[in-house]
Structure formats: structure tokens, C-alpha cells
């Protein structure tokens, strides 16, 4: 199992700096320098702003370790803000993955029974399945097949927009259904424990006990595969595009079903895997996207969004976009 990065000294230095004496600061600063190389080596620096923020933290740590007082104090608020924005979510995700792995070791049957599809077992597997819908080295992907089926009716750019729209619509529907399912489980749990129907005022998810909430999320995760056929059937009843019928667009139907399946598994991860929200006109970050036909310094159109491990988190899979 990969080593868990906790960065305890770094966290203590950033969060408790003002309450530490000089010797404690220097000692923590030197330890934090060692931890920082592990952290920065795994954090995906995709944008210029992120790189500047991380550089600020590194400079802060270096100044503290060298025994300086004035400069670190002036930098503290900025360094702390950068830490909370970029490093804290990364450390939370490290902890979540470690806890998930330990739970898997303790309860192997629970996890092996959750699905016959190996891609649902890990975030990496979900990402690979997500990528395979758009591109396959061996055979035509479902995206390719759907694209070819629409060629006679639409322009290339319109087809790209239709397929992207189906993916995004599937993702939003799956996220909404995952939240609805969790709320229903919480309500049922309270009804069983309290002996009467629980009220539904306020944010019921936020009000739930942390340990109980984790178990309910795991329950959904374990049984996710059983909801896929229902989710696909319901989704195909929506208006995928003008003039759509399953009989007339068989490849588009399969594409939509595949989008629903992978988006559902993304939605029931804890925290959910998310579609990157970079849009047209944004700088073209090659760490996030591969070029599709046209290159350029800015994004013209998203063809297939990148995946993030959670909102504003690490990149799990690169996307595809046209440049301009």
C-alpha cells in the first residue's frame, strides 16, 4: 500500500504559527520542508495561480526553517489561505483513500460483492472506463459510433456539443439521484431508530451523524450496480436531442447508457468524482486537456471533460478540447 502523506508538521506550522515559540517554529519548519517535497510531488499543479500559491507556501516554510521571523509573519495569511485551498483538500483525500483501503482489508466480502464490474472498484478504474467511452485503441469507442451515426444530420461541432450535453446531463441526473437516495436512507434510518417518521426540515445530510452518514454512503456504494438499469431506463426517457428515438439512434442510445453507468459510479464515490468545469475561452492547460484537431492557447470547445477526484481536487483523467 502506498505511503499515506499526513504532513503533520506542515499542518501544525501553518495553523499554529503565532502560538509557537522560535525554537518550535524552526524545528517544525525543518520537518515541514521534508514533508513538503512529498506533498508538492503529488499535488497536480495545473494552473499558474496554483503554482504561485504552492510556491508561496514553500517560501514560507523555507524562511521559517532558516530562523526568520518578520518575513514569515508577513506571508502567514497568504500562505495559510493557499494551504487551505490546495493542501488541505489533498490531505483529506489521502486520508479518505487510506481509510477506504483499510476498510476494504477488514471487510473484503463487502467490497468484492459490490459489483461484478472491476472498473467500479477504484477511482482509477472508473477513470479508465470513462476514458474508454470517448476513445479506444482496439475498437471504435461508443463516442465514435454515436458520432458517425449523427454525421448525416449535423455538423461536426454540433455533434460534439450533443454528445457533451448527453454526458453532462447524465452526470447531473446521477448526482441528483445519489443525493435523493442518501436523503431517503437517512429518513428511513431515523424513522427506524426514533419509531416515527423523521422531519425533513433543513439540510438532512449535514445534520446526520458523521459515522452513520459514512455507513449509509457505503451502503449506496456497495449496491450501486443494482441501480444502473433503472437509471439508464429513466434517462433514456428524457429528450437527448431533437428527433431522438432509441430505434433510430441505436449507437447514441448505447453511448447514453454508458454515460449514465459511469456517471452513477462517479456520483456514489465519497466524495463524488466530478467533471471539470473549465469552459470555452479559458487558457488551454495541457496538464488538463489534450488537443482535439485544432491547437491554440485558449479553449474553443470542450469535447470530453477532464475528471477530478473531487471538486477542485487532483486530476483523475485528462479531457479533450479544441483550441483556438
Cell of residue 71, nine digits: 518575513
Residue 240 pLDDT greater than 90, yes or no: no
For residue 289, what are the contacts with CB-CB under 8 A and spacing of at least 6? 278, 299, 302, 306, 318, 319, 320, 321
Q: Is the pLDDT of residue 96 over 70?
A: no
> Strands across the sheet with 289-291, in order?
289-291, 319-323, 299-304
Mean pLDDT, to the nearest integer, of 63-85? Answer: 90
Cell of 173: 441526473
Write out pLDDT tens, residues 3-19.
566 788 998 999 899 98
- Helix (H/G/I), strand (E/B), else coil: 157: helix
162-166, 167-171, 220-224: the lowest-pLDDT one: 220-224
207 grid coordinates: 445534520
33-47, 125-139, 146-160, 294-308: range with lowest mean pLDDT: 33-47
C-alpha cell at 177: 439521484
User: Pairing relation of β-strands 307-308 and 274-275?
Assistant: antiparallel
Question: How much is the average pLDDT of 130-152?
Answer: 89
Residue with cell 504561485: 52
> pLDDT-based confidence at 208, cuts 50/70/90?
low
Highest mean pLDDT among 166-175, 213-222, 272-281: 166-175
> Who wins on pLDDT, 314 or 27?
27
Amino acid at each position: 500500500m502506498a505511503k499515506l502523506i499526513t504532513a503533520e508538521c506542515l499542518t501544525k506550522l501553518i495553523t499554529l504559527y503565532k502560538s509557537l515559540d522560535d525554537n518550535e517554529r524552526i524545528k517544525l519548519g525543518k520537518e515541514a520542508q521534508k514533508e513538503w517535497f512529498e506533498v508538492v510531488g503529488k499535488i497536480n499543479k495545473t494552473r499558474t495561480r496554483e503554482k504561485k500559491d504552492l510556491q508561496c507556501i514553500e517560501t514560507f516554510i523555507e524562511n521559517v526553517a532558516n530562523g526568520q521571523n518578520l518575513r514569515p509573519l508577513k506571508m502567514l495569511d497568504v500562505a495559510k489561505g493557499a494551504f487551505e485551498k490546495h493542501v488541505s483538500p489533498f490531505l483529506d483525500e489521502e486520508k479518505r483513500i487510506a481509510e477506504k483501503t483499510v476498510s476494504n482489508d477488514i471487510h473484503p466480502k463487502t467490497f468484492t460483492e459490490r459489483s461484478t464490474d472491476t472498473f467500479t472498484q477504484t477511482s482509477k478504474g472508473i477513470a479508465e472506463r470513462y476514458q474508454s467511452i470517448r476513445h479506444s485503441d482496439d475498437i471504435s469507442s461508443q463516442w465514435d459510433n454515436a458520432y458517425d451515426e449523427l454525421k448525416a444530420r449535423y455538423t461536426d461541432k454540433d455533434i460534439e456539443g450533443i454528445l457533451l450535453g448527453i454526458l453532462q446531463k447524465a452526470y447531473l441526473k446521477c448526482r441528483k439521484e445519489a443525493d435523493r437516495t442518501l436523503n431517503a436512507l437517512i429518513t428511513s434510518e431515523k424513522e427506524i431508530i426514533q419509531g416515527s417518521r423523521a422531519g425533513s426540515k433543513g439540510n438532512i445530510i449535514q445534520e446526520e451523524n458523521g459515522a452513520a452518514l459514512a455507513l449509509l454512503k457505503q451502503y449506496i456504494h456497495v449496491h450501486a450496480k443494482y441501480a444502473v438499469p433503472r437509471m439508464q431506463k429513466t434517462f433514456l426517457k428524457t429528450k437527448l436531442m431533437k428527433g431522438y428515438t432509441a430505434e433510430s439512434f441505436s449507437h447514441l442510445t448505447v453511448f447514453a447508457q454508458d454515460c449514465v453507468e459511469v456517471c452513477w459510479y462517479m456520483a456514489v464515490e465519497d466524495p463524488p468524482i466530478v467533471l471539470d468545469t473549465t469552459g470555452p475561452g479559458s487558457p488551454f492547460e495541457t496538464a488538463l486537456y489534450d488537443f482535439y484537431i485544432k491547437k491554440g492557447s485558449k479553449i474553443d470547445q470542450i469535447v470530453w471533460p477532464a475528471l477530478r477526484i473531487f471538486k477542485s481536487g487532483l486530476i483523475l483523467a485528462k479531457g479533450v478540447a479544441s483550441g483556438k
